[in-house]
């Protein structure tokens, strides 16, 4: 690392520490940039390069993790949590959760209580599937040997939700992916529940083009966590939406397929099928 890189690293490390220590004050871009003696524009670009996310998004992640601890461990009320996190009100906390966590604070606190989930079963080229959705988007999709096993897996994800066996438009759009152009993936709405690290990993998976492969190490570098290959593997293994979030496109650096929640044989078959689709 040359001298300039060292200076840049130290500045970003100082900025990260400042945000962690002062997140309750919700410092803006100008404030943090001033602390490390950079212009807001230069600081924004430098921080994004080194941390893999914007200063604003990093502040949101830190705030959210604190809010989650208060809600779960301290059993704080939503208004108390908003205040203790430095947010101006419960609406800000609500927006923060929906933007990053994919759930409202109340839904997170209650394990999906009062969350309405529709689900249905369908056939795919790789076996039977269960697909489930909330009003916000697809929240679960998995290969299932039978309907009972599929529903049991869904229920484990949202133990307190209200379930209705019903096929809706969100589910149909998701299932059309087996027939239509993968470029339309952005039209499919997802409603994901996960940690900030898991969400970053799943977002990286969505960027792997159909017919191409990546490695655990490459994903770790992509999210600016080059030494976190094992943690990346764990996050990939907890992917709640099979196929749409293409964890099957991640293989070992040796070229071996590696593990897959729904079986290595199925993983190999999906990779082969996608390769054939892109070569048409």
d(CA 195, CA 259): 22
Asked whether the beta carbons of 145 and 128 are under 8 A apart, the reply is yes
| Catalytic (active site) residue 247 | yes
Burial class from Cβ neighbours inside 10 Å (0-12, 13-18, 19+) for residue 267 reads buried
φ, ψ at 39 (rounded to 5°): -70, 150
d(CA 150, CA 259): 20
d(CA 44, CA 59): 13
Q: Where are the beta strands (DSSP E) in 184-271?
A: 214-215, 250-251
Q: Which one of 235, 247, 251, 270 is the catalytic residue?
A: 247
> Per 3-state DSSP, what percentage of the chain is helix, strand, and coil (rounded to 5)?
55, 10, 35
Angle, nearest 10°, between helix axes 196-206 and 229-237? Answer: 80
The catalytic residue positions are: 247
């Amino acid at each position: 690392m040359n001298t300039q890189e060292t200076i840049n690293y130290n500045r970003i490390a100082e900025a990260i520490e400042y945000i962690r220590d002062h997140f309750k004050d919700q410092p803006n871009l100008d404030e943090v940039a001033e602390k490390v003696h950079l212009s807001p524009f230069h600081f924004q670009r430098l921080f994004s390069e080194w941390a893999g996310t914007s200063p604003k998004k990093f502040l949101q992640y830190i705030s959210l993790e604190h809010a989650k601890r208060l809600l779960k461990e301290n059993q704080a009320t939503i208004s108390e949590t908003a205040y203790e996190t430095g947010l101006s009100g419960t609406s800000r906390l609500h927006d923060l959760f929906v933007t990053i966590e994919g759930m409202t604070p109340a839904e997170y606190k209650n394990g999906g209580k009062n969350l309405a989930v529709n689900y249905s079963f369908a056939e795919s080229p790789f076996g039977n599937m269960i697909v489930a959705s909330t009003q916000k988007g697809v929240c679960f999709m998995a290969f299932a040997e039978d309907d009972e096993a599929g529903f049991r897996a869904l229920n484990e994800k949202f133990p307190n939700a209200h379930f209705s066996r019903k096929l809706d438009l969100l589910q149909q759009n998701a299932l059309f992916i087996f027939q239509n152009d993968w470029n339309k993936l952005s039209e499919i709405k997802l409603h994901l529940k996960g940690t900030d690290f898991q969400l970053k990993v799943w977002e990286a998976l969505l960027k792997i083009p159909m017919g191409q492969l990546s490695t655990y190490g490459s994903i770790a570098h992509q999210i600016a966590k080059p030494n976190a290959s094992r943690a990346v593997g764990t996050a990939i293994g907890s992917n709640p939406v099979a196929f749409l979030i293409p964890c099957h496109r991640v293989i070992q650096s040796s070229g071996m397929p590696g593990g897959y929640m729904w079986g290595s044989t199925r993983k190999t078959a999906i990779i082969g099928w996608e390769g054939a689709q892109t070569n048409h």
